[in-house]
Structure 1
Amino acid sequence: METLIPILLLVTFVGFIVYILKGGNIMIGFFVMAILWSVIGQIPFDKAVQKVFAEPALNYGPTIIYIAFGSWFGRVLVDSGIAPAISEATKKVGKKRPLIAAILIVFVTAFIFVSAYGVGSVIAIGVILLPIMLSLGIPRDIALTAFVMSIGAPMYINVVLFNQIKAFFPNAIYGGQYLIFGWTAMVVQLMAVVIFLVLHRKKFTQENVDANLKIIGETQQDDEGRHIPKIAFIAPIIPVVMNMVFGWDAIPGLTLATLFAILVTGNMKGYKSFVQFLNSTIQKAIGDIAGLIMFLMALVMFAGAAQLNAVRFQSMFSMILPHNHLILAIVFGILAPLALFRGPLHVWGAGAATAAVLSGTGLFNDAFLLPLLYVPALLAVSTGITQSWNVWGLDYMKVQSKDLLKRGVPIMWFVSIINEVLVYYFFG
């Protein structure tokens, strides 16, 4: 029986991966897996109720708060006019130097998503920046690939996403050594995006601009931009700076940045208009993340079941996994594409079991395991076609899924190997 149970757990795990690859609902899949692993793992009923379905969801409450504040901040950046103003300032460079403008858009996108988060924020920024990229003569597939990889890069230091993966590695700390790694890994990915654009610069042509804009339902515009004071442009970086310099938690940092954005853009002049702006942005922000929250609830329930069953895999992992940190980091870099399609290295997919089991074995500390699994997960976030905002981008830009994968995965694979070596350097 002791041998049969781990085999049955692995069989259901493989079945879960197949279910995901065939387009099954991931939230339902996680919930069913939580039940199956509780039953197969012979977890007592009362313990399963408490440790699988109650405590994980209740303990995840603080992370939901981070997600809510991050989503609100992203909505305020858009609705206050800061994000459009930054975009318009970038656009002015474009006509004479399209490559420079494209690179600036990459950095602007990364700058915004250092703190902003959520599919709603991506859509709001995307409908501004993607048409600008097309107006520079960039083909639709190249523009979309560069854009989504630019969103993925700052996720290394985005406190909202960090706190989601921290559910698996509670002892990991956002700050100090991790932030040094996060900034370095972010730069590596951004440099890869820049190289990607440079290599494709000869495909930038004005001949197909009107046709590409028409395909996505947009036309060229000659906007003068919103009258936003330049000091407002520092808003996206405020939460990270407050953490690095003063050790602030993300919630006060995001709150300060949000109020700063509202104040400097003139949305705090009158009490009535201020309240209306608050209510409007909060309602949109919460609506943006409603589905995500329920998905994450199902995920942490499965993680709870996986952690209770981790002991059953300990001897197996002890034999299979290399105990050398460098070898393990390189292996994860080479296998990083397994995170695609919510596979076994994607922590917000089938990789939830991988993360929970690795954490439960006690073979490696959380400070090392979090970035180790974060790297392949961010490959999928950056180029995967199961990532919500990537799916929106494919539809909006009328790009085939295979084109995004063909353009983006090889670059992100190379980035993943480099960043896994950095994981060893900083935490091994």
Structure 2
Amino acid sequence: MSSTIIAILLLITFALFIWYILKGGNLMIGFFVMAILWCIIGLVPFNEAINKVFAQPALSYGPTIIYIVFGSWFGRVLVDSGIAPAISEATKSIGKKKPLLAAILVVLVTAFIFVSAYGVGSVIAIGVILLPILLSLGLPRDVALAAFSMAIGAPMYINVVLYNQMKAFVPKAAYDSKYLTFGICAAIVQLLAIIIFLFFNRKKIDPAMADNNLKLIGAENNENSVTKVPKIAYIVPVIPVAMNMAFKWDAVPALTLASIIAIFLTGQFKDYKKGLKFLNDSISHAISDIAGLIMFLMALESFTGAATINAERFRPILAAVLPHEHLILCLALGILAPLALFRGPLHVWGAGAATAAVLYSTGLFSDAFLLPLLYVPTLMAVSVDITQSWNVWGLDYMKVKSKDFLKYGVPVMWVVSIINEILVYHFFG
């Protein structure tokens, strides 16, 4: 069988895979089946498939799983120790006299927490605190949810846990000072866009609707007492990033140190038995939060292995089709960023896994350039895609229709994606 025919068959299965994802198919099963199909179609020898597709990729991904585990644990510690709720509660001090300013503060607090916190469990735990605050200020439910979700996505540019998941596609990329400078700039762009979004929708803020909206989501009596924590504990969310910037610490010791500081600053170990229970419960909840994600990533790694083996077959096609100019490629991905929605071909934790694997294997671009290039549209999806786990929860919790959420979120994130792709060119082109 000629390489051309094999390449065509691989592309056909890729197209069918995208269709399957858009129809709501299970990603873990889809990636696993695709890995098998690409081994068969690509005529990969059996032993090579076993070792290079199903064994080595999974084993080599072990360090990234550790990052995910520690990031999820840190997020759980922030919530369960009372630090995240206390930071959230502090935003109420602005009061209802300045609802726009208070809403902007909630957005900034959300971003601040998720600089290092990670996981759907952490998002839900923070969401049930902050979303009712936004509604109590008079924001419409759809506007509040869009702002909250985009505020989670903004700091993901510098979130070490998600960054290390991205490295599965471009393993030689480095979380160094150059990348951090880009990541901070990109996060600021997204936060400024959210603030402008809130400003343009300020006339829709109606405190008279607050009670009805709170009642609709079942939060009308959401006055749970917030555990008091020392004000110095408010800096805990930025400790992991600060340790990396100042001392070049790896994410694992940085997250561990931040978790330990959080535990002791909030007095969780004043009673040894209660302290042990807190420690065990936070670890147990953190791991259960990410169990499904880890198995999904294992399936993704297998498919990436199969795509890497077959990538040589795509090289002539991609070399002819892809623009070799970095600026043109950046602008193209910015303009096409909505293709990341619905786990499409620009979402690396969707059908874009194949795009990323094939792009990487061509050797046409450096890892340092490819990671942020692909990260920008992916983070558009993380911010406003209705297939993102915490956005699915948010739509249900806030009783918001998908079309209303997309109507507000997609235009904002599209502009952000174009601007941030230009930043990618500026820093890495």
One fold, TM greater than 0.5?
Answer: yes
Residue by residue over 1:18-44, the C-alpha shift from the partner in whole angstroms, topping out at 9 and shown as x without a partner, is 001111111100100000011111111
Instruction: Give the whole-Å Cα distance in 2 for the aligned partners of 1:88 and 1:272.
Output: 29
Instruction: Give the whole-Å Cα distance in 2 for the aligned partners of 1:362 and 1:225.
Output: 52
2:322 maps to what in 1? 321
Q: Which amino acid aligns with 2:285?
A: K
Q: Does 1:163 align with 2:164?
A: yes
* Of 216-225 and 134-143, the range deviating more from structure 2: 216-225
Q: Which amino acid aligns with 1:169?
A: V
2:185 maps to what in 1? 184
Q: Does 1:412 align with 2:421?
A: no
1:226 Cα deviation from its structure 2 partner: 2.7
Instruction: Give the whole-Å Cα distance in 2 for the aligned partners of 1:196 and 1:352.
Output: 31
- The percentage of counterpart residues that share the same residue type is 70
Residue by residue over 1:196-251, the C-alpha shift from the partner in whole angstroms, topping out at 9 and shown as x without a partner, is 00100111111111111111111155567431110000000000000000000000
1:330 Cα deviation from its structure 2 partner: 0.4
1:94 Cα deviation from its structure 2 partner: 2.9
1:278 maps to what in 2? 279
2:363 maps to what in 1? 362
User: Is the 8 Å Cα contact of residues 82 and 226 (structure 2) preserved in structure 1?
Assistant: no
SS, match of residue 3 in structure 1: helix
1:272 Cα deviation from its structure 2 partner: 1.4
Within-5 A mapping of 1:127-142:
127-142=128-143
2:313 maps to what in 1? 312
Instruction: Give the whole-Å Cα distance in 1 for the aligned partners of 2:343 and 2:228.
Output: 42
Q: Does 1:226 align with 2:227?
A: yes
User: Is the 8 Å Cα contact of residues 239 and 254 (structure 1) preserved in structure 2?
Assistant: yes
Within-5 A mapping of 1:57-72:
57-72=58-73
Residue by residue over 1:151-178, the C-alpha shift from the partner in whole angstroms, topping out at 9 and shown as x without a partner, is 0000000000000010110100011110
Instruction: Give the whole-Å Cα distance in 1 for the aligned partners of 2:328 and 2:427.
Output: 15
2:390 maps to what in 1? 389
SS, match of residue 3 in structure 2: coil
User: Is the 8 Å Cα contact of residues 135 and 220 (structure 1) preserved in structure 2?
Assistant: no
Q: Does 1:350 align with 2:321?
A: no
2:34 maps to what in 1? 33
1:92 Cα deviation from its structure 2 partner: 2.0
2:197 maps to what in 1? 196
Instruction: Give the whole-Å Cα distance in 2 for the aligned partners of 1:390 and 1:271.
Output: 38
Residues 277 and 225 (structure 1), Cα distance of their counterparts in 2 relative to 1, 3 Å cut: closer
Instruction: Give the whole-Å Cα distance in 2 for the aligned partners of 1:161 and 1:45.
Output: 33
* Of 409-418 and 213-222, the range deviating more from structure 2: 213-222
1:274 Cα deviation from its structure 2 partner: 1.3
Instruction: Give the whole-Å Cα distance in 2 for the aligned partners of 1:139 and 1:29.
Output: 37
Q: Which amino acid aligns with 2:215?
A: K
Instruction: Give the whole-Å Cα distance in 1 for the aligned partners of 2:371 and 2:226.
Output: 41
Within-5 A mapping of 1:66-105:
66-105=67-106
Q: Does 1:111 align with 2:112?
A: yes
2:145 maps to what in 1? 144
1:261 maps to what in 2? 262
1:373 maps to what in 2? 374
Task: Give unmatched runs, 5+ long, in structure 2.
Answer: none
Q: Which amino acid aligns with 1:89?
A: A
Task: Give unmatched runs, 5+ long, in structure 1.
Answer: none
- Number of equivalenced pairs: 428
Instruction: Give the whole-Å Cα distance in 2 for the aligned partners of 1:247 and 1:222.
Output: 41
User: Is the 8 Å Cα contact of residues 123 and 389 (structure 1) preserved in structure 2?
Assistant: yes
1:52 maps to what in 2? 53
User: Is the 8 Å Cα contact of residues 311 and 361 (structure 2) preserved in structure 1?
Assistant: yes
SS, match of residue 46 in structure 1: helix
Q: Which amino acid aligns with 1:164?
A: Q
1:240 maps to what in 2? 241
Residues 137 and 149 (structure 1), Cα distance of their counterparts in 2 relative to 1, 3 Å cut: same
Q: Which amino acid aligns with 1:96?
A: K
2:400 maps to what in 1? 399
Instruction: Give the whole-Å Cα distance in 1 for the aligned partners of 2:18 and 2:314.
Output: 18
SS, match of residue 309 in structure 1: helix
Instruction: Give the whole-Å Cα distance in 1 for the aligned partners of 2:92 and 2:298.
Output: 40
* Of 223-232 and 160-169, the range deviating more from structure 2: 223-232
Q: Which amino acid aligns with 2:265?
A: V
Within-5 A mapping of 1:9-20:
9-20=10-21
Instruction: Give the whole-Å Cα distance in 2 for the aligned partners of 1:50 and 1:4.
Output: 25
1:206 maps to what in 2? 207
User: Is the 8 Å Cα contact of residues 137 and 209 (structure 1) preserved in structure 2?
Assistant: yes
2:292 maps to what in 1? 291
2:8 maps to what in 1? 7
SS, match of residue 423 in structure 2: helix
Instruction: Give the whole-Å Cα distance in 2 for the aligned partners of 1:94 and 1:40.
Output: 62
* Of 211-220 and 109-118, the range deviating more from structure 2: 211-220
Residues 268 and 408 (structure 1), Cα distance of their counterparts in 2 relative to 1, 3 Å cut: same
Instruction: Give the whole-Å Cα distance in 2 for the aligned partners of 1:2 and 1:74.
Output: 47
Instruction: Give the whole-Å Cα distance in 2 for the aligned partners of 1:43 and 1:419.
Output: 39
Instruction: Give the whole-Å Cα distance in 2 for the aligned partners of 1:373 and 1:224.
Output: 42
Instruction: Give the whole-Å Cα distance in 2 for the aligned partners of 1:222 and 1:371.
Output: 41
Structure 1 consecutive aligned stretches of length 4 or more whose deviation exceeds 6 Å = none
* CA RMSD, Structure 1 to Structure 2 (Å): 0.9
